[in-house]
Amino acid sequence: MQKKKIVIALGGNALLRGNQAGTIEEQEQNTYDTLKNIIPFIKEGHDVILSHGNGPQVGNILMRNDAAAEKYDIPQMPLDICVADSQGGIGYMLEKTLRNILTEEGIEKDVVTLVTQTVVSKDDPAFQNYTKPVGKIYDKETADKLAAEKGWIFKPTPKKAGGYRRVVPSPNPTDIFNLKTIEAITNSGGIVIASGGGGIPVYFDENNKIVGLEAVIDKDKASAVLASKINADEYYILTDVPYVYINFNEPNQEKLEYLSKADAEKYMAEGKFGEGNMAPKIQACLNFVSNGGKKSVITEATKLTDKSYGTKITLEYED
């Protein structure tokens, strides 16, 4: 079997389910259940790079931020620092869990977490149109109350979830820091956890200094940039469904097993995918295959290595 370089983006649900309180015990069990599914790739000798979402976690960090400021007069931290906070915590949990699984499987490998900065433009239109969901799902009354008290912006969640979530700016990623280091660790046989939560959003000012920005980058788009920059062969996005559907949860819902670039772009233009849900994932996959990647797959974690599942996205339809 030919060795491949594979980037796997773990969705927020891989760590924290929507109906859970978010205890560390719940998140560690979810992490274990998810990471067990990547072991076949490792046993086959492929190079694996992991990224992860942080939507629920960074939302909780922001709430703690506000509560501490109100009750104890502790200075609030900006959103880029909160993203860094979530990267460190989630990266530690992933690294610890994966090391335990590798031990169970009798596999010796280094696992390295890199707190990653991602370059964006400070003039990105996203700063005028908030789309990235973070934090918990609220009912309309609570969402309206928080919007009035804190100036937060809320948008409805997909019908399946119901309710409202806070949204923040989500600028497009253009570059990832420390790519040479990520490649060096991967080439030496290690597993890298990088670009967590999309990475910490930064830009270069007029003096070429690095400056943080108040935003949360879409982790799927950032992971696609990472995958392209390190010349990965395949890019996987793990979510809570085994396939992509058009007209999801509608009477005319249709499962998609294969998507060419042309058809994916056509469905995107027709608005067949949810703006804050599946559309960014499809766009991330299109970005990857348009920049030299062989194949992108969107699937559910337990179906990761089962080729009969997942929506496969390629430049042209596979033979």
pLDDT tens-digit map of 190-247 = 999 999 999 999 999 999 999 999 999 999 999 999 999 999 999 999 988 899 998 8
pLDDT tens-digit map of 49-61 = 999 999 888 888 9
Residue 296 inside a domain? The answer is: yes
Residue 151 inside a domain? The answer is: no
User: Within the chain, what is the greatest distance between any pair of CA atoms?
Assistant: 62
Residue 25 inside a domain? The answer is: yes
Catalytic residue among 53, 91, 219, 312: 219
Catalytic residue among 5, 132, 221, 312: 132
* SS3 state at 167: strand
Residue 93 inside a domain? The answer is: yes
Structural contact between residues 203 and 122, judged by C-beta atoms closer than 8 angstroms: yes
Residue 270 inside a domain? The answer is: yes
Residue 238 inside a domain? The answer is: yes
pLDDT value of residue 98: 98
Residue 265, domain CATH: 3.40.1160.10
| Residue 160 pLDDT grade (very low, low, confident, very high; cuts 50, 70, 90) | low
pLDDT tens-digit map of 257-307 = 999 999 999 999 998 886 657 888 999 999 999 999 999 999 998 899 898
Please count the structural domains in the chain.
Answer: 1
CA–CA distance, 250 with 264 (Å, rounded to integer):
19
The CA-CA-CA angle for residues 117, 118, 122, to 5°, reads 115
Residue-number span of the structural domain to which 187 is assigned: 5-121+171-314
* The model's pTM: 0.92
What strands lie across the sheet with 175-176, from one edge to the other?
A: 175-176, 117-119, 200-204, 210-212
Stretch (H or E) spanning 152: none
pLDDT tens-digit map of 101-146 = 999 999 999 999 999 999 999 999 999 999 888 877 889 999 999 8
Residue 153 inside a domain? The answer is: no
Residue 254 inside a domain? The answer is: yes
54 catalytic per annotation: no
Catalytic residue among 5, 11, 12, 30: 12
